[in-house]
Structure formats: structure tokens, C-alpha cells
Structure 1
Amino acid sequence: MTAHTTLRHRHVLTLSAQPAAVAVARKTAEYVYRTWGVHPRHPALAAALLMLSELVTNSVRHAAEVSPSLDVLYAVGGGVLAFAVHDRHPHRPDLTTIAKPGGGLAIIAELTTEYAGTATVRPDADAGGKSIWITLPLQ
């Protein structure tokens, strides 16, 4: 069973691929995770908010032309905090070979490693888009 199938709480938010989506996605994350019992000062939450902001920013910057909306999925369960950003742009970044140190994907790779989490790019069934999933342990 994969981690995302054991997540007890889920919330999906669809946003226009506009710059304001970053703040809305982040505020929604703060709200839903707090509602599900994740302490606002939990170190994994701070890392998650930064990574979420980077992923939504990337969708807005690079995918908006072919994907005018994006979905953000928030989840918690089994000692794991998870989220995903989905857009319909077919490009799937390779999260294992980050070319630009200090860039958004490099930050995601560093924080995922630092917090013993996972980062996975999952293509849509029709290969016309993708979801980037992040999981972070809450222990």
C-alpha cells in the first residue's frame, strides 16, 4: 500500500493558475493541517509550507499557458503530512537531478531529504499532466 492511500484526512482545492494562488494554497494548508491536529509550529509544517509555495509558483510560472487551473491536495494520516500539486502541463521534472542550486526544486529536494520525506512525480494516466507529491513524517 502506498503512503497516499493510508491518509485519513484529505482536502482538494482547485485554483486558477495565477500568482494569487500561492497565498491561497498556503493559507488553506495552514488551516486544514491545524484543523486536522498538526501543530502550527511543527517543523514539518514549516517545511511543507515552503515546498508547497515553490510547487504552486512553478505551476503558475511554467504551466499556466496549457493548464489554466491547478489542483492542490492536502492530506494527513498515519503519522504523515502530505500534499500534491497537479497541473495539466506534460513536462515532468526529474526531482533527482536538480540543475539550479538554490532554485525551487533544489529547495524541495533539500527539505525532503532533511525531513526524511518523499518527493514523487506522478504522470496522469494520459501523460497530459502530472502531480508532484510530497510526504513528510510528523514524528
Structure 2
Amino acid sequence: MVKSERPGSTEDAPAGYEGVWRFTAPAADVSVPQARHAVRDLLNRQGVPAQDELVQGLLLIVSELVTNAVRHAALLSPILAVEVAIGTEWIRVSVEDNHPYRPKALERDYAQTGGRGLLLVREITVEAGGVCDIEHTASGGKIIWVALPLAGPSLTSPPSAPSAL
């Protein structure tokens, strides 16, 4: 896992847990639990002050986003990237692949046995007071990201766009 620090003055010294971490993984089933464990271990190692409920929701989101990349993008994107950005008030996790298809969250259909991962991601995000979106990359792929507040739902503005999944 590679860590990159944000430049800042000594006046704006970040909290000890702040930073941005990015790692890549093969678009294979084994990457789902590996990504989840890597994010959990990162949060623990950095001492991020997040409640257990938030962490569990975030880990489920990571599992769903990586699973989607593995199931739907592997043919055009044999490698995926996971990025975790931690600020004083927000955690942002994103999964990037090189497949151009932009998925949409399906509506509730209890007869379906699958295909509800993004709906679950959206529901967890909204309940936590966060935001999620999908962006295209310069190379034609996509980044699906979720930002959750560390302190739970609040009136604090998130680090970008409204929930679009």
C-alpha cells in the first residue's frame, strides 16, 4: 500500500490519522476480502476516530464496490484501484476501474437475487449522512466513490457532490 501525504503548513498540521492511501489489486474474487481487510487495518493503524457502526458500513461499501469492479469490469480492467482519503471530518473511499460502463443503483425488487449492491451502497451512505457519486476518468474508465462523515449525520458539507448512485 502506498501512502501519499498532502502538503500543508505547520499552522494547518493535519491530525495524525489524515492522509490519502491508494493500492491496486487484481480484478479477482480474492481482492474483495483483501480490500476490506486493508481498509479496516488502515483505519485501525491510523487511529481514525470512527464509531464501529460507521466502520462496518464503510467496509460493506468497500466490499460492494470491489465486488462490482470484479464482476462487471474485469474483462476490460484486470486491475482495480482502491483509494482511501481520511480528513478530520470525512472518510472518502473510491474504487477505480478502466471499464467505461457507468452503473446505476437498481430499485428494490425483492424477487431479484442479486444486483442490489449499489442500492445498498446508496442506502448506507444516505443513512450515515454521506454522499456518493460516479466520475469518469481521463482514460475512459470510472471512479465510484463514497464520502462518510466521521461524526455521523450532520449539517457539515461533504467533500463534493450529492448522492448520484
Range into which the TM-score falls when normalised by the shorter chain: 0.7 to 0.9
Residues 1:10 and 2:14 are matched in the alignment: no
Distance in 2 separating the partners of 1:78 and 1:101 = 38
Distance in 1 separating the partners of 2:76 and 2:49 = 37
Residues 1:125 and 2:138 are matched in the alignment: yes
Normalising to structure 2: TM-score of the pair?
0.73
Q: Which residue of 2 aligns with 1:107?
A: 120
Residues 1:137 and 2:149 are matched in the alignment: yes
Unaligned runs of 5+ in 2: 1-5, 7-13, 111-115, 152-165
Report runs of 4+ in structure 1 exceeding 2 Å deviation.
5-8, 38-42, 98-102
1:8-87 equivalences under 5 Å are: 8-38=18-48, 42-87=52-97
Count of aligned positions: 132
Tell whether the 8 Å contact from 1:17 to 1:70 is kept in structure 2 after alignment: yes
Unaligned runs of 5+ in 1: none
Normalising to structure 1: TM-score of the pair?
0.86
Give the direction of change, closer, same or farther, for the CA distance of 1:41–1:115 in structure 2 (3 Å limit). closer
Tell whether the 8 Å contact from 2:24 to 2:82 is kept in structure 1 after alignment: yes
Q: Which has the larger radius of gyration?
A: 2
Residue by residue over 1:20-67, the C-alpha shift from the partner in whole angstroms, topping out at 9 and shown as x without a partner, is 000110010011111222257522111000011000000000000000
The structure with more helix, counted as a fraction of residues: 1
Q: Which residue of 1 aligns with 2:156?
A: none
- Larger displacement relative to structure 2 (117-126 or 47-56): 117-126
Distance in 2 separating the partners of 1:101 and 1:43 = 26
Give the direction of change, closer, same or farther, for the CA distance of 1:101–1:83 in structure 2 (3 Å limit). farther
* TM-superposed deviation, 1:100: 5.0
* TM-superposed deviation, 1:80: 0.7
Ranked by relative contact order (alpha carbons within 8 Å, sequence separation 6 or more), the top structure is: 1
Q: Percent identity?
A: 36
Tell whether the 8 Å contact from 2:84 to 2:94 is kept in structure 1 after alignment: yes
